[in-house]
Amino acid sequence: MARNNWSEEELILTLSVYFQLPFGRLNRTTPEVIELASLLDNRTANSAAMRLCNFAACDPAITGTVGPAGTIRSGLVGGMSTCKPIWDKYSNDKEQLFLKAAQIRADRLHKTVEETLSDSSQKSLKGLKGETRKQMVNLRVNQDAFRNMILNNYENKCAITGIDIPELLVASHIIPWADREDTRLDPENGICLSPLYDKAFDRGYIGVKKDYTIVLSSDLSKKIHKTYFQKYFQPLNGLSIALPYDHKPNKDYLEYHLDMIFEKHKSII
């Protein structure tokens, strides 16, 4: 194989990382890019970063949009032709992309896919066997990828508290994983939250309106005389969540959450 030819495996690995990083971190000093380079066929972090930017040139969510500095973004169009077939094949099938990339990554690390999962995902497999275990491994591969995607998008900070300790953060789905397949790995379907607020959002005790302000449910507000309500929830009512530059929460998804999950506890809007 000629030195400059990228294999399909390399491109799959690179596209998988692309979807887990915000545009502003597609550079050679990013830890995920350095790790990606170590998995490729004798390529540098600079080469990996350039290929990631080639994929950005394929991405309609990036091309032609205005970046934080006020400049128009386009990715790197040189080399785009190499990436476009892989983009077309997997950009709308991220579940298969992440599964394939996980297997390729595991093979190159001389590990099983299970051994490459996060600690919490590995613990969730305890006691499972056979087809059930295989299905759970596949589920955890994609959930780990979604977590990386959302935490990176929010710069590893809770959108409500600003807590910046990754171990204390959760990638919260706006539309639950089980409700719709097409939103499971959509970065606009996630908000980075600390566990208390993740649970409150997941169970519908708090919601986020289409203007990105928090609303409290009437069920939760019945606890108004409780110290914990006054300390942890009362200050949230009407507060705007912190937003990432790219992939802000989809307003239609927020409306779904308000209608289908939050509504069960009613609102004090």
Among residues 151, 172, 206, which one ends one of the domains? 151
Q: Residue 110 and residue 100: Cα distance in Å, rounded?
A: 15
Q: Which domain holds residue 247?
A: 155-265
Please indicate, yes or no, whether residues 16 and 89 belong to a single structural domain of this protein. Answer: yes
**Domain termination residue (choose one: 116, 151, 186):** 151
pLDDT of the chain along its 269 residues, tens only? Answer: 345 799 999 999 999 999 999 999 999 999 999 999 999 999 999 999 999 999 999 999 998 888 888 889 889 998 999 999 999 999 999 999 999 999 999 999 999 999 999 999 999 999 999 999 999 999 999 999 999 999 999 999 999 999 999 999 999 999 999 999 999 999 999 999 999 999 999 999 999 999 999 999 999 999 999 999 999 999 999 999 999 999 999 999 999 999 999 987 665 54
Are both 96 and 173 inside the same structural domain?
Answer: no
Domain count, the chain: 2
Same domain, residue pair 138 and 194: no
Q: Are residues 144 and 30 in the same domain?
A: yes
Say whether both 112 and 233 belong to one domain: no
Does residue 125 share a domain with residue 179? no
pLDDT of 191-215, one tens digit each? Answer: 999 999 999 999 999 999 999 999 9
Last residue of a domain, one of 93, 126, 151: 151
3-state SS record for the chain: CCCCCCCHHHHHHHHHHHHHCCHHHCCCCCHHHHHHHHHCCCCCHHHHHHHHHHHHHHCCCCCCCECCCCCECCCCCCCHHHHHHHHHHHCCCHHHHHHHHHHHHHHHHCCCHHHHCCHHHHHCCCCCCHHHHHHHHHHHHHHHHHHHHHHHHCCCCCCCCCCCCHHHCEEEECCCCCCCHHHCCCHHHEEEECHHHHHHHHCCCEEECCCCEEEEEHHHHCCCCCHHHHHHHHHHCCCECCCCCCCCCCHHHHHHHHHHCHHHHCECC
**pLDDT, position 264:** 79
Same domain, 159 and 64: no
Q: Is residue 1, in this structure, part of any structural domain at all?
A: no
Cα 204 to the chain's mean position, in Å? 21
Task: Mark whether 146 and 76 lie in a shared domain.
Answer: yes
Indicate if 167 and 56 belong to the same structural domain: no
Indicate whether 94 and 183 sit together in one domain: no
User: What is the predicted pLDDT for the residue at 2?
Assistant: 43
Residue 2 lies inside a defined structural domain of this protein:
no
First to last CA, the chain: 63
Q: Looking at the structure, do residues 60 and 40 belong to the same domain, yes or no?
A: yes
**Domain check: are 129 and 203 in the same one?**
no
Euclidean distance between CA atoms 153 and 112, whole angstroms: 28
